[in-house]
Amino acid sequence: MSQTTKTLFQRIIDRELPASFVHEDEHCVVIKDINPGAPLHLLVVPRKPIARLIDTTAEDQALLGHLLLVANKVARDAGHGEAYRIAINNGAAAGQSVFHLHLHVLAGRPLKWPPG
């Protein structure tokens, strides 16, 4: 994939841009969000550059399960295993701004429902 077609998160995964990594494995990375919306705000990002959740297929079933398990792990490791939120914004109108699938992991403050 050429540099111009890489997503922002692909460039972070490839260490072309800096980020604060808290987890890394063969399928995904977890970084701190640059503009945190809560005391804990992590992004679980698959290495596979899937644009949106709606673009996943049955082929991605194991990967999607893995991303949830990693979200559990990083929330628990940060001391927030009892209260955290996982969010995925699918599409610009739903708030997605980076078109490389990612799970938000938010914790450390009261989280209202429904989100805005």
Q: How many residues bind ligand 5GP (CB under 6 A)?
A: 13
> Token pair for residue 66?
């893995």
How far is C-alpha 58 from the geometric centre of its chain's CA atoms?
20
Q: Is 19 in the site for ligand 5GP (CB under 6 A)?
A: yes
102 is catalytic: yes
Which residues within the stretch 63-92 sit at the binding site for ligand 5GP (CB under 6 A)? 89
Closest CA to 9 of 51, 70, 64, 69: 51
Among the listed residues 80, 100, 102, 104, the single catalytic one is 102
Binding pattern for the stretch 31-50 against ligand 5GP, x by CB under 6 A and - elsewhere = xxxxx-------x-------
Instruction: Give alpha helix (H) positions in 14-102.
Output: 61-77
Cis omega before residue 114 (within 30°)? yes
Chain residues binding ligand 5GP by CB under 6 A are: 8, 19, 31-35, 43, 89, 95-98
